[in-house]
Amino acid sequence: MSVRPLIAGNWKMNGLRSESITQIEQLVKKSADAGTVGCDILICPPFTLVKELADLAQGSAVSIGAQDCHANVSGAHTGDISAEMLKDAGASYIIVGHSERRTDHHESSDAVKAKAEAVLQAGLVAIVCVGETLEQRENGETLSVVGEQIEKSLPAGASADNTVIAYEPVWAIGTGKTPTPADVAEVHAFIREKLGALTAGAEGVRLLYGGSVKASNADELMALENVDGALVGGASLKVDDFWPIVETGI
C-alpha cells in the first residue's frame, strides 16, 4: 500500500504572533511554489496561534494542528482546552501522549487514550506518540515499552483515516542523538505488526519518526520501510530548516 507521507512540525512552547505569521506565510508560499506536493504538511503551534495560523493556511497545502487537548468536550477544567474547541479554531490534527506530556504532566497511557478518543469524536486526526527512555533502551525494554504504550493508548475506532502513530525515543528528543537506521526500522516494523493485531487496516496507518529529525538525517530516515513521515521539533521552527525535511516527502 502506498501511504501519503506526513511531515509534521511541533513548535512546542515557542512562537509569538508576528514571527509565527511570517513563518506560516513563508511555508505556504514554498508549498505553492513547489506545485504538486506529494505529502501532507502540518504545523502544530501553541494554542494561542491555532486560529490565526489556520486562517492564513486555509486553502493551501499546509494544515494546522494542536499539541494537546482535554479528554472532555467541556466543563470545569480551568486552563484546559477541548478537541471541539480546537476544531472550531481550525485545527485538523491534535498530538496526544507526547513524551513531554507523559513526563512533565504524568500522563498515563489510559489518559492518552481518552484524549485520542476525544480527538476522533471531534472528527480530527490523533497523532499518538510513543517511545522509550534511555534507561529502558539500555535495559532492552524498547519493544515491550512501546508495545504496551500502543496497546493502552490506541483509541477505540482507530483507523488509517483518523490516527497516526509517532515513535519518538525520549532520549533522542532535542539531544541531537538518533537511533541507528536499523534501530528505527526495527521499532517501526514492530509497531506495524502490533497495530495489525489491534486494528483493521493497520497497513495504512501512518507511522512517523520523531527525535532530532533534521535536514541532515531526514533523507536516510524517511527512506526506511514503515517510516511514513516525521514529527519534527526544533527544526520546524524555521522554514529554511523545515522545508528540506518536507522535500523528503514530496
Backbone angles phi, psi at 127, to 5 degrees: -105, 105
Exposure on the CB side of residue 214, measured as CA atoms within 13 A = 14
Distance CA 244, CA 180 (A): 21
Residue 168 designated active-site: yes
Burial of 186 (0-12, 13-18, 19+ CB in 10 A): middle
Determine the Cα–Cα distance for residues 167 and 210; give it in Å rounded to an integer.
6
Instruction: Provide the Cα torsion 143, 146, 147, 150; round to 10°.
Output: -160
Which residues, listed in sequence order, are joined to residue 128 by a DSSP beta bridge? 96, 165
Total residues found in the chain within this entry = 250
The whole-angstrom separation of Cα 244 and Cα 174 is 18
Q: Is 98 a catalytic residue?
A: yes
- As given in the structure block, the three cell numbers for residue 37 are 506536493
- Say how far residue 113 (Cα) sits from the centre of its chain: 15
Task: Quickly list DSSP for 63-120.
Answer: EEEES--BSSSSSS-TT--BHHHHHHHT--EEEE--HHHHHHS---HHHHHHHHHHHH
* Active-site residue, selected from the candidate residues 98, 132, 188, 247: 98
Take residue 161 and report the three cell numbers written for it.
Answer: 483515516
Catalytic residue among 84, 107, 117, 168: 168
Residue numbers annotated as active site: 98, 168
